[in-house]
Chains A and B, each alone.
Chain A
Amino acid sequence: MKNTFSIGGIHPHDNKISRDCAITPLATPPTVYISVAQHIGAPAQPLVKPGDKVKVGQPVAEPGGFVSAFIHSSVSGTVKSVGPRADLAGKMSTTIEITVEGDEWMEGIDTTDTLVTDIPEDNKATLEKIRLGGVVGLGGATFPTHVKLSPPPGSKCEMLIINGCECEPYLTSDFRTLLEKGEQVVIGAAIIKQVLGGVPCTIAIEENKPEAIDHINEVIAKLRKISPKYDGISVMTMKMRYPQGGEKQLIDAVMHRQVASGGLPISVGAVVQNVATALAVYDAVQKNKPIIDNSVTVTGGCFPKQANLLVRVGTPLSYIIDSLGGMPSDAVKVISGGPMMGKAISNLDAATLKGTSSLLFLTAEETMRKPESNCIRCGKCADACPMGLEPFLLNKLSRINDVEALEDNAAQDCIECGCCLYSCPANIPLLDIIRMGKAEVMKAIKSRQIKK
C-alpha cells in the first residue's frame, strides 16, 4: 500500500512539463528590488540607506521581532533607495532598491562547489547560523526556520519530515533540486536532524518522480559510508495526491497522526521542512551562504520556453519574462506559485521574494472562471476537503457572516488548498468565500486572545 493522507484530496493532472529542464542561473538584472517583508511575521528593519555600497550576502535588513528573519543583498552594488514599492499584488511594502555593480561577495562565503559533509556538533551555533542566513520555509509559508527548529519547552520532536512531494501541478523546482543537489539536500536534512536531537528523518517524495527517489536513495547510501550521522534518513514513496505537500496532510501520510484543530505539528512530534529549505540550511551552515537566490520554475502550456532558473532574490518578474522571450500572446494570467494555491500577479514589475517558486502562464481557456450556478448539494466539496470540513456549509455561513457558527464548523482550519473549488460542479467560488469567513474567524480569535 502506498502512503497517503486519510481524508479528502484530489487528483489534478500533474503537468510537469518543465521536468527535464536543468536549473540554470539567470543573469543578474541591472537593478534588484529587495522587499523587507519576505516572510511570515514582523517585517525586517532596513539596515542600509541610499548611497551605501553593499556586497552579495551582506545583511540589508534585520529581524523586526522574534518571528522574523534577516534579509541579505543578493547582488553587489549601490543602494539607490529605500521606500515603498508595489509587490506582486500591488500592495505597498518597504523595498530596498540596489543598482548592480560587478559581483563582489562578502568575505567568509564559500562559493566553491566542494561538498562539506561534516555535520557540526554545536546545535546552538548551527541554529544561530540558520538565523543569520535568513533561512525561511521555502515551501510557500516562509515561516522563519530557526523559530520552527526551536520547539517550545515541553514538546518533543519524534520525526523530521523533508517535504519533497511537490504535489502542485506544473512546479518542478523541488524535483530539479533533488536531482541536481541531492547531496546538499540530504546533508541539510542531516543538519536539521542533528539540531532536533537526532530524530529519524523521512524524505517524502511522490511516485511521479521516480528519478528523484532513486537518486536520493543512492545519495543516502553513499553518505552513510562517510558518517553514521546519516543513519536514520530514509526516503518514503508517496502516492500522488493533492494536497500531499500540506504540512498536516504530510504528517498524516507519513506518521499516521492527525494534528488537532488549532494545534501545531510539534504537538504530534513532527517537524516538516521543505526540500528547498534543507538546501538553504546546508548553504547557511556549511557554506555561510545566506538565501540570496532560489530556483524558480517558469512554465505553462502556452509558454514557449520552459525553464527552471536560479534567480537572485529581488529580480523583477518582467526581467525574467523578457530574458525568456517575453510574454506569450495568448497568456491572460500569470501566477506566482502553483495553479492550485498560487496567487495571480497583478503587477509584473514586482520582484521575486525568497519564497517565489514559480511563474506560471495560463491561457483564458485554462484559467477563466465559468459562470456560477446554484449548489446542487452533491457533497463533492466535502469529499475533497483534506481537512474534513464542509465547504458547502462554510460557504453559506461566510455569506451571512455568522462568525460564531463558522468557528464552530472550524473555518479557521481551512488550509486554502482549493480542493473544494476544484471539485465543485456548480463552479461556486467556494475558496474565495470561505477565505473571507476564515479571516473573520481569525480576527475574532485574535481579539479574544488580546482581551485575555
Chain B
Amino acid sequence: MTQTIIWTIAIITVLGLVLAIILYFVAEKFKVQEDPRIDEVEKVMPGANCGGCGFAGCRAFAEAAVAAPNLDNNYCPVGGNDVMAKVAAILGYEVKAKAPMVAVVRCNGTCANRPRTNTYDGLSSCKVKAALYSGDTACAFGCLGCGDCVEACQFGALSMNPETGLPEVDETKCTACGACVKACPKTLIELRAKGPRGMRMFVSCRNQDKGPAAKKACAAACIGCGICQKTCTHDAITVENNVAYIDFNKCKLCRECEALCPTGAIHGVNFPKPLDKEAVKARVQERQKKAREAAAAAAAESNTKEA
C-alpha cells in the first residue's frame, strides 16, 4: 500500500520535473520578443477600449504608439493631456498639449421652439428615421430625438432631456471619444474645444434652409442673416449654406454675436455672469458708429487729396 503511494509520488514528481525542463527550453526557443514598453503604456491608458483614438482598443493604441516615430498622430482623447504626458514619459517622446474637447449638440429645436408637423410611428432609431424621411418637424436638419447618440456613448455622458426632446451632454463625463459624432445621422454633434473654465460659444443650429423657411420650421433656427459675421472682430464666424459657424480656435468669447443674434441660435455656456444683451449691443453699435465715422472721414480726406 505505502509502496504504491511512494511510487505514484515519485513518478509524478519526476514526470513534472522532466516536463518543466522541456517547457523551459521550448519557451526559451519560441520566445516572442515584445517591446516591454507596450505593457507599460497600456497600464497608463484609461482602459475604456472605446476606440476614440482610432485604434481597436487601448492595447492596439499602445502598440501603435510604441511603433510610431512620434506621437503626433496618436492621441487618447479620453485620457487627455495627463495620460499623454505619462505615455510620452515612457516612450521618451514629446507631446504637444491639446486643448481638451467636449461633444456639443448643435440643435436648438426643443419641443417649444420647433412644432411637430407629423407623428413618427416607426422604430425608435435616428438611423432608420433619417433613412425614411426628413423627420417629424418641418426642419430637415435638426435632431430626430431617437437617441442614437445616447446609445452610442459608453461613458453615460449623454441623456435625452424629456422636456426639450434633445440630448444633453454631461461635461464631467464626456471624454470626447467621438462615438456620438459618428452615431448622429444629421451630423449635429461636434467635438469642440472645452474652452477656459468650460466657457465656449457655438451656433446651436445646422439648418441650411433659407431664412424664412428655417424660421418657420423652428423659432430658434439660424437664419443665415450674417449679423454675427459682421459683428465679430476676431474673424471667427463664417456663414455658409445659410448657417453660421464659429471657429473655436479663433473665438475670443466676447459674446457679442450671442447678444446680437436675432433668433438666439448662438449659445454661450458656462459663463459666470449672465449676458447683458443691451449693454453689449450698445457697445457694438458705438464701435460700429465710430468705424463708420472714421471711414467717412477717411473717404472725405482722400476726396480732398484727389481734388
Contacts and interface: CB of A to CB of B under 8 A. Distances in A.
B134 interface: yes
B2 interface: no
Interface string B93-131: 000000000000000000000000111011101011001
B117 A436 contact: no
A346 B129 CA distance: 12
A42 interface: no
A92 B123 contact: no
Given A91-B140, A332-B119, A346-B118, A432 B134 contact: no
A429 B121 CA distance: 10
B132 interface: yes
Q: Is the interface of B mostly helix, strand, loop or mixed?
A: loop
B136 A432 contact: no
A435 B122 CA distance: 12
Interface residue range, chain A? 20 to 34
Contacts of A332: 119
Contacts of B131: 435-436, 439
Contacts of B125: 432, 436
Given A92-B140, A346-B117, A432 B133 contact: no
B135 interface: yes
B128 A436 contact: yes
A406 to B, nearest CB: 14
Contacts of A433: 123, 128
B140 A90 contact: yes
Interface string A303-344: 000000000000000000000000000001100000000011
Contact of B133 (A346, A369, A439): A346
B134 A346 contact: yes
A349 B119 CA distance: 17
A259 B131 CA distance: 28
A402 to B, nearest CB: 15
Contacts of A436: 125, 127-128, 131
Interface in A331-370: 332-333, 343-344, 346-347, 367-369
A369 B128 CA distance: 16
Contact of A432 (B117, B118, B119, B123): B123
Interface string B127-169: 1100111111010100000000000000000000000000000
A86 interface: yes
Nearest to B122: A432
Interface in A386-442: 429, 432-433, 435-436, 439
B118 to A, nearest CB: 5
Nearest to B134: A90
Nearest to A372: B123
Contact of A368 (B121, B128, B136, B138): B121
A429 B135 CA distance: 18
Could you tell me the dominant secondary structure of chain A's interface residues?
A: mixed
A432 B121 contact: no
A89 interface: yes
Interface in A82-130: 86, 89-92
Interface residues of B, number: 17
Contacts of B127: 436
Interface string A272-309: 00000000000000000000000000000000000000
Most buried by B among A91, A429, A432, A433: A432
Contacts of B136: 346
Contacts of A439: 131
Contact of A89 (B117, B128, B134): B134
B131 to A, nearest CB: 6
Nearest to A428: B123
A435 B119 CA distance: 20
Nearest to B213: A86
Interface in B271-297: none
A439 B125 CA distance: 15
Given A332-B119, A432-B122, A91 B128 contact: no
Contacts of A90: 133-135, 138, 140
Contacts of A333: 121
Nearest to A89: B133
A338 to B, nearest CB: 17
A32 to B, nearest CB: 21
A112 B129 CA distance: 47
Contacts of B135: 90
A430 to B, nearest CB: 10
Contacts of B123: 429, 432-433
A210 B218 CA distance: 53
Contacts of B119: 332
Contacts of B140: 86, 90-92
Contacts of B121: 333, 344, 367-369
A214 to B, nearest CB: 41
B140 to A, nearest CB: 6
A255 B85 CA distance: 71
A89 B129 CA distance: 11
A58 B145 CA distance: 44
Given A346-B117, A436-B127, A91 B122 contact: no
A125 B134 CA distance: 42
A156 B118 CA distance: 49
Given A346-B117, A436-B127, A89 B122 contact: no
Interface in A36-95: 86, 89-92
A373 to B, nearest CB: 14
A343 B132 CA distance: 9
A332 B128 CA distance: 21
A344 B136 CA distance: 12
Interface in A222-250: none
18 contacts: A89-B133, A90-B135, A90-B140, A91-B134, A91-B140, A92-B140, A333-B121, A343-B132, A346-B133, A346-B134, A369-B121, A429-B122, A432-B122, A433-B123, A433-B128, A435-B128, A436-B127, A436-B128
Interface of A: 86, 89-92, 332-333, 343-344, 346-347, 367-369, 429, 432-433, 435-436, 439
Task: Kindly list the 3 A-B residue pairs having the minimum CB-CB distance in the complex, ordered from nearest.
Answer: A90-B134, A89-B133, A432-B123
Interface of B: 117-119, 121-123, 125, 127-128, 131-136, 138, 140
Given A90-B134, A436-B131, 9 more contacts: A86-B140, A89-B134, A90-B133, A90-B140, A91-B133, A343-B132, A432-B122, A432-B123, A436-B125
